[in-house]
Amino acid sequence: MWFRRCPTTEQLDDFVAHPEVENPVAEHLPKCEECRAAVQSLLAEKHVLDDLRQATATDLNDARREQIVDICRDAARGTPKDAHA
């Protein structure tokens, strides 16, 4: 299958959420800068959400709250997660 037009946002979301599944979006991306940028944005969003899920998986104490604030601040600034290391 190939796309006559760009994949929908839902199709791009599915591609990002399930990278292990064969998906025609993978064939489309090398040909479309706009969709590559959209996937990069979705991946960044996914990483932030994954970090927040991990940070809130346990009881919240002051240190955990600060970690959540750091994650949100980095997301708002577009700072890579590993920039603090």
pLDDT tens digits along 29-76: 999 999 999 999 999 888 888 888 888 887 888 888 888 888 888 887
pLDDT of residue 72: 86
Tokens of 19: 């990278």
CB atoms within 10 A of CB 46: 13
| Band of residue 79 on the pLDDT scale cut at 50, 70, 90 | low
> What Cα–Cα distance (Å) separates residue 52 from each residue in 19, 47, 66, 72?
21, 9, 12, 8
* Domain boundaries along the sequence of the chain: 9-80
pLDDT of residue 62: 87
Is the whole-model pTM more than 0.75?
no
In the predicted model, is pLDDT for residue 84 greater than 50?
no
